Chain A
Amino acid sequence: MVNDRRLPVLLLSPFMIALPAGAASAQEWSSAIAQPDLSTLSIEELAQLPVQSASKREEPLSRAPTSLYVITGAEIQESSATSLPEALRLAPNLNVQRINAHDYAISARGFNGYESSNKLLVLLDGRSLYSTLHSGVFWDLRQPLLEDIQQIEVISGPGGTLYGPNAVNGVVNITTRDSRETLGGLVRGTYGTNERTLAARYGISLGESAAVRIYGNGFARDGLPDGLGPDVDDSISGYRIGFRSDAGIGRSTIMLQGEYFRNETDQRPGDNDRGGNLMVRWSRDLDGASAFQVQAYYDHFRRRFLGARDALETLDFEGQYSRSGGGGDLVAGIGVRTTRDEFTNTANIFGLTPMSRRLWILNAFVQNRFALTPELSLIAGVKVERSSLSGFELLPNLRIAWQPAPNHLVWAAVSRAVRTPSRVDRDLAGAGIIVRATDFRSEKLIAFEVGYRGQPAANVSVSVSLFYNLYDDIRTAEFIGTPLPAQLSNNLTGHTFGLEAWGNWQVLPWWRLGAGVSLLGKSFRLEPGTTDISGAAALGDDPNYQVMLRSSMTLLPNLALDVQLRAVDGLETPATRSYVEADARLGWMVTDRLELFAAGSNLVHRTHAESNDTDRAQLSERSAYIGTRLRF
């Protein structure tokens, strides 16, 4: 039963009737001009267009003044990816390094590496996935059901004021589909040379505007061939069960989701990970032009590996308000997060002091888009962030967007971002060898960006961004005794610069080509008079170039062929070779409900090295699988 709890705003209608029906104001007129031409889109495309939204103001792709690539759910399903990190290879502005069967290093604009990729914010339905232990993401704990992903927004660069803590070099924002859009059943299974997956989902409608889906997702992955790291068993298997429910009640929408997962890794007998989360979100449209949203979640995971145990419990609350009209679009919000961790290590003498700690992270932001002229807008925002391990950090961001025509956008931005200290940064200690760095500071970035995005022809879209990033206080380690002990410090300073460009070309109605390139240069130095005994480990090791080509063909109405090529520069210390690899997938819709597919990854070489992590890296190898998807 749906209750109508709307405010009687329509009582205001006498004013609206008083407006002559056909007479549009000058402002409306300009709005109509600036709208893209929707008449060329199919109804299916119309149904997929993001519209001015109630929260964090999702902008149509062409208008977002940032380096943004969107991976759609359909693209993931047409790709050979069977896991989230593999799906992220679709974004040309991310560098994905597979380390071994379960670990990945993923970064935007440099600093890649298992330990050094700590400047990325990853959100899954608004839930933050980076760990406060080291500010990185444990990708093996994150195995969402790929068929339920609505889209993944990948922002390279600080991502503005709107996202939460740690959005320094990029934001990966994953959203899953509303449960009202996933009614009915789905079963998917794949069987391959080094991985088997099985997933099922069932969605049922609960009355007129509510629904719930339940899902389960399991996988088993073999270990990879021996690489630079020790020859250990890196196989992994796991499962995840969960639900998501959405309900529309008048002008409100309520979303509730929860999950439990477990992974078995067995590098040592008994090694495993488990965890779960529960989240609730309430969004409400206030009067058509303004809206608010509040959400809260609880997340918990525990990893046990090689004699170490790492547990993290997170409680997070966020609220935001948005309003448009009157010459500006305003978004404001607050976030409060508290975490409690516990890290113990029996493998060596390194540990955290204290072993367990509660941290608080607070942030508040406000951003406004000022429409200076119909073509030119200025976006100014500021975020204030404070954590138990840092003082107040002020993170301003200024963007300008010029849209001389509906299909061309030129933008520029300058922003400040910081990575607040992680537990490792502050509390890593080992008797006599390393002592806590209680005055470790936030790593800081001032980013300058310019970009163009547009649709120069109806069947071509292009995006180009250039960036120049100034970093300061990047992590180092130095001797403070004679020589021991050592301590973490903030002595690296320098800059990175680069280019990201991609385009899509709908060559023929049944054939689309895509290409992407990212180039990166880095230059860092130590503060005068300091040393870094870690050898600049915090800078990671990045390819200087990465090129991608992609072809998506609908060979027959029910037969699709997707091929993706990538060429990635080698790494330096220790050196790995540059490589060219290809993935391909052939999908056959046997009926509307039944799909069969065959796919291969890393088809060019039997093995290649993507990571030079001497503690963990194994070789990536050629693999293939067959699979089926059944909907009912």
Chain B
Amino acid sequence: MLALAALAPPARAQLSEDAVKAAFLPRFARYVAWPEAVRPQAQAPFHLCVIGQDPFRRLLEEAAGRELIDGHRVSVRRMANAEGAAGCHLAYVQGATPAETARLLVALRRQPVLTITDSRAGTPRGMIHFAVIERRVRFYIDEAAADALGISISSRLLALAVQVRQRPA
């Protein structure tokens, strides 16, 4: 019975939490600066990777398809684990269990990838951690973790965070 529930499609025609999260994901690239070495070349896209579970599916392609950031498109890649994550600029990380999410995050922790997680999937947090608060999709930002990898997050994005773990002064 539970399995059937999991297979049921999301509610139709609702402005779903997932749609709003999917709209945010490619948009984050606009408010983040990566180290020079990993920025996309001219004409090359930003890579938005979904590592592990994918709650968004089609929604993410649609949102990404509408983004154009300083001439760069956003392309979506999906992967089961962190092995192929080298080219990712952003990574939505959701393991089958919270423990697996934590393992995936550990595997990514030396790469300059903006990691994004969801409170629905458990407590392990990436640099950006979605939470639905008062029926709005909001997020926590770990600026310190991003800063340690040379990723800087714009003040406009920080201003929207519920809480920011600040980088050391």
Contact = CB atoms under 8 A, between A and B. Distances in A.
Interface of A: 2, 4, 6, 8-13, 15-17, 21-22, 24-25, 27-32, 34-39, 41, 43-44, 46-54, 58-60, 63, 150, 175, 177-178, 180-181, 183, 205, 208-209, 246, 248, 250-251, 285, 287-289, 324-327, 329, 371, 374, 377, 403
B63 A38 contact: yes
Contacts of A13: 53, 96
A58 B135 contact: yes
A9 B53 CA distance: 13
A403 B15 CA distance: 14
A51 B16 contact: yes
B9 A53 contact: no
Interface in B101-155: 119-123, 131-138, 140
A28 B19 contact: no
16 contacts: A10-B95, A10-B98, A13-B96, A30-B12, A34-B13, A49-B137, A50-B135, A52-B17, A177-B134, A178-B133, A181-B133, A246-B133, A289-B5, A324-B11, A329-B11, A329-B14
Contacts of A12: 2-3, 6
B23 interface: yes
Nearest to A62: B15
Contacts of B73: none
Interface string B1-33: 011011111111111110110011001001100
A46 B78 contact: no
Contact of B119 (A48, A150, A248): A248
B97 interface: yes
A43 B27 contact: yes
Given A10-B96, A36-B15, A248-B131, A41 B23 contact: yes
A445 B53 CA distance: 51
B14 A46 contact: no
Interface centre among B97, B122, B133 (most CB of A within 10 A): B133
Nearest to A183: B163
Contacts of B138: 47, 181
Interface stretch (B39-47, B54-62, B83-91): B54-62
B35 to A, nearest CB: 23
Contact of B160 (A15, A47, A289): A47
B157 interface: yes
Contacts of B23: 38-39, 41, 46
Nearest to A253: B133
B9 A27 contact: yes
Given A24-B58, A47-B137, A50-B15, 12 more contacts: A4-B122, A8-B97, A10-B98, A22-B57, A39-B63, A41-B23, A46-B20, A46-B24, A181-B133, A248-B119, A327-B12, A329-B11
A198 to B, nearest CB: 27
B11 A51 contact: no
Contacts of A248: 119, 131, 133
Given A4-B123, A10-B53, A285-B120, A15 B58 contact: no
Interface centre among A8, A43, A63 (most CB of B within 10 A): A43
Contacts of B24: 43, 46
Contacts of B14: 31, 52, 59-60, 63, 324, 329
The 10 closest A-B pairs by CB, nearest first: A324-B11, A34-B13, A39-B66, A38-B23, A60-B15, A53-B135, A24-B58, A12-B6, A13-B96, A325-B8
B69 interface: no
Contacts of A21: 54, 57, 78
Interface centre among A37, A46, A324 (most CB of B within 10 A): A46
Contacts, number: 178
Interface centre among A15, A38, A377 (most CB of B within 10 A): A38
A208 B30 CA distance: 26
Contact of B11 (A25, A48, A52): A52
A58 to B, nearest CB: 5
B163 A28 contact: no
B17 A403 contact: no
A71 to B, nearest CB: 16
A39 B30 CA distance: 13
Given A13-B53, A41-B23, A288 B120 contact: yes
Contacts of A251: 120
Contacts of B31: 43
Interface residues of B, number: 56
Contacts of A246: 133
Interface centre among B10, B14, B24, B61 (most CB of A within 10 A): B14
A181 B20 contact: no
A31 B59 CA distance: 9
Contact of B16 (A52, A178, A374): A52
B42 to A, nearest CB: 23
A2 B16 CA distance: 26
Nearest to A177: B134
A29 B53 contact: no
Nearest to A53: B135
A199 to B, nearest CB: 21
A175 to B, nearest CB: 7
Contact of B57 (A6, A28, A60): A28
A371 B12 contact: yes
Given A15-B7, A34-B12, A50 B67 contact: no
B2 A31 contact: no
A24 B138 CA distance: 26
Contact of A374 (B12, B57, B163): B12
A15 B120 contact: no
Nearest to B66: A39
Contacts of A31: 9-14, 16
Nearest to B26: A39
A47 B61 CA distance: 20
B13 A4 contact: no
B13 A30 contact: yes
Nearest to B97: A10
Contacts of B15: 35-36, 49-52, 59-60, 63
Contacts of B132: 51, 53
Contacts of B16: 31, 35, 51-52
Contacts of B5: 287, 289, 325
B123 A371 contact: no
A251 B5 CA distance: 18
A11 B97 contact: yes
A284 to B, nearest CB: 12
Contacts of B133: 178, 180-181, 246, 248
A39 B67 contact: yes
A526 to B, nearest CB: 47
Contacts of A37: 66
A31 B8 CA distance: 13
